[in-house]
Structure 1
Amino acid sequence: MATTTVNQGSLQSQIACLDTIGTDVLERLRHEALTVPANWVVEYGKYQSGGWRTQSLLNGSGDPGDVKIGDCDPVPTTLLRRMPITRQFLDSLGLRYMWVRLAWLEPNSFLWEHRDYADLADIERHRLHLPLVTNSSAALVTGGARIHMAAGRLWRLAPTNVHGACNLLGPGRLHLIMDCYSDDTLARTVDREYLAPDDVALLPAAEPTELEDRVEQSRKLITLGYDRAGEQHLLRMFYERTVPEGRLYELIAAVYTSLGREADAQRWIDNKTVLLGSEPAEGTR
């Protein structure tokens, strides 16, 4: 099996740990997030398998159900007004927020390979994650590596790089996600960032025979009428092997083309463009 070499500095530019919060603070934030009455919203359906839901704490409207992020001068939502501990924690960081959400990822759920911020203004910003509830099978994949984001640690993610998330076994994963505009306070925080070797599991490169086997198994499932299972059988490879960017979307399109289902093939070519902000590769149409 081919191995993958990942430059630590390059990977740290994509994801890194900024700080660790106290256990008592973590417990209070977790308790508040788990007990406050909530109305989870499903958004970005093309980006996920199902099972990923969010609600907003800071946004442009004050409505916690408004979860499609964008540039704004954020105000507390009605949900955050019932969460004084979380509000105090956010204030204590002193950051210039764009949007803040709680995000829940159920067991056996995935956020597919994608990029974020592509449709926003060209302004420097960063995404911070604070895992409140997690498990050893929950991970973020970026830069050819799978990273378990430990609870109670503040993580920075550069979501303009291709990435995805998974929660294989459960229980559910709950993150506080903060999209922030770059400023001096954030710059000082980023100066202290690090990525420990124990946080990183490198993904081996996918062998051509592995891809061929996956494609054939996917084709069999789709031929039997299990379209979703066939698609996900290929998409899940992103969390197991390093595959060239967008290749899995191209392979799904190729499977549908081989079955004479051009409309479904085009749907996945379009999905690739939406999720990655890229043009279809030659030969996939």
Structure 2
Amino acid sequence: MVTTLPAAATPEQAGPGRAEVLDQVARLADLEESAVEQMRAEALGAPTRGVVAYGDYQSGGWWTTSLLNHSGDPHDVVIGDGRPRPTSLLEEMPATARFLDLLGLDFMYVRLARLEPHSYLWEHRDYAELRERGRHRLHIPLVTNPSAVLITAGARVHLAAGSLWRLTPSRAHGVCNTTGPDRLHLIADVYADDAYQALAARPHLHDTDAADLPQMTAADRAGLLARAGQLVDLGFPDAAEQTLLRAFYTYALPEGGAYDLIAGLHAGRRAHPDANRWRAAKAYLLVRP
């Protein structure tokens, strides 16, 4: 199932500005095309799109369903520690079950995650159980497109199909799918053991995987705030806030910079309860370990 493993990448080999990106997201191995195709077919044929969970972290359009969890119910998607068992959905996906078994990893939770077009996972850190030592997150893209990207460490990264990727959620990050079609990933949370260490021994990125985001200029900031203010004046405060939230996917902002823009917008209009609400949202979504 796992094929080519390139030589391990050092920070120097990662190229200028890439060491921080490689620390957060990396290819670990290439996968056999036939295995990916079989899993893709099973995922696309799944009888459910899943459920919306962790709603505070997204714009809407992000659906998950479980393949390995603690209850066996595929709609139980709130991850947690423990020894999982196959859900009723995985029992209908033999190629995926075989792939997971052949990886030989110590699984904590496995899900299918679908991100619809025009959807965003807002800037956040992942849940506390993944920030503790000995837990890691793997992504296997099954369906994707160039507009489906991860934003982390000031860069835009496209997780291409055909590889197994590691995502480290220690830094704030976000995901978007701006044009579609749906982005469909197999996400496995695993415990560190010898099998994982062997799989993760050669992290790397291709030259075209990541692109640096530009810095926001004073003119950029003024223009964004002006557009957001116009939307508020027209009676569309939610649209104004989402305009500023999406700045995270366009510019290399400081951590929480998009939330600061929204709080500043409301504070400048003397809407202090709204400003405080977004300051609290920033603290909640970017909570540190």
Name the amino acid aligned to 1:91: D
- Give the structure 1 partner of residue 3 of structure 2: none
**Structure 2 CA distance for aligned equivalents of residues 46 and 82 of structure 1:** 31
8 Å Cα contact 2:24/2:171 also seen in 1: yes
What secondary structure does 1:213 align onto? helix
2:169 to 138, 148, 159: 159
- Following superposition, the deviation at residue 208 of structure 1 comes to 2.1
Map 1:13-28 to 2 at 5 A: 13-28=23-38
- Following superposition, the deviation at residue 123 of structure 1 comes to 3.0
- Give the structure 2 partner of residue 86 of structure 1: 96
2:69 to 50, 59, 76: 59
- Following superposition, the deviation at residue 120 of structure 1 comes to 5.8
- Give the structure 2 partner of residue 97 of structure 1: 107
Name the amino acid aligned to 1:18: L
Name the amino acid aligned to 1:205: Q
* Superposed CA offset, 1:136-175 (max 9, x none): 1111111111111111211101012111111111111000
8 Å Cα contact 2:49/2:63 also seen in 1: no
* Superposed CA offset, 1:2-60 (max 9, x none): xxx96322221111001111111111100001112114100111111111110111112
Matched, 1:272 2:282: yes
**Structure 2 CA distance for aligned equivalents of residues 24 and 34 of structure 1:** 15
Map 1:21-170 to 2 at 5 A: 21-118=31-128, 122-170=132-180
Q: TM-score, normalised by structure 1?
A: 0.92
Matched, 1:190 2:200: yes
What secondary structure does 2:79 align onto? coil
**Structure 1 CA distance for aligned equivalents of residues 277 and 72 of structure 2:** 34
- Give the structure 2 partner of residue 241 of structure 1: 251
How many equivalent pairs are there? 274
- Following superposition, the deviation at residue 260 of structure 1 comes to 2.9
What secondary structure does 2:244 align onto? helix
What secondary structure does 1:255 align onto? helix
Name the amino acid aligned to 1:66: D
Name the amino acid aligned to 2:162: G
- Following superposition, the deviation at residue 271 of structure 1 comes to 1.1
**Structure 1 CA distance for aligned equivalents of residues 190 and 107 of structure 2:** 4
Name the amino acid aligned to 1:93: L
**Structure 2 CA distance for aligned equivalents of residues 204 and 39 of structure 1:** 35
Task: Show structure 2 runs of 5+ residues with no match.
Answer: 1-14
What secondary structure does 2:132 align onto? coil
Task: Show structure 1 runs of 5+ residues with no match.
Answer: 279-285
**Structure 2 CA distance for aligned equivalents of residues 212 and 225 of structure 1:** 20
**Structure 1 CA distance for aligned equivalents of residues 55 and 266 of structure 2:** 21
Residues 66, 157 of structure 1: alpha-carbon distance in 2 compared, 3 angstrom cutoff: same
- Following superposition, the deviation at residue 117 of structure 1 comes to 2.7
8 Å Cα contact 2:248/2:257 also seen in 1: no
Deviates more, 1:69-78 or 1:141-150: 69-78
Name the amino acid aligned to 1:237: A
8 Å Cα contact 1:43/1:68 also seen in 2: yes
8 Å Cα contact 1:118/1:160 also seen in 2: no
**Structure 2 CA distance for aligned equivalents of residues 91 and 120 of structure 1:** 22
What secondary structure does 2:126 align onto? coil
**Structure 2 CA distance for aligned equivalents of residues 119 and 13 of structure 1:** 19
- Following superposition, the deviation at residue 119 of structure 1 comes to 5.5
Q: TM-score, normalised by structure 2?
A: 0.91
8 Å Cα contact 1:16/1:194 also seen in 2: yes
**Structure 1 CA distance for aligned equivalents of residues 132 and 81 of structure 2:** 10
**Structure 1 CA distance for aligned equivalents of residues 19 and 201 of structure 2:** 14
What secondary structure does 2:117 align onto? coil
**Structure 2 CA distance for aligned equivalents of residues 95 and 17 of structure 1:** 17
Name the amino acid aligned to 1:259: R
What secondary structure does 1:58 align onto? strand
8 Å Cα contact 1:117/1:160 also seen in 2: no
**Structure 1 CA distance for aligned equivalents of residues 243 and 109 of structure 2:** 33
Name the amino acid aligned to 1:103: A
Percent of pairs identical after alignment? Answer: 50
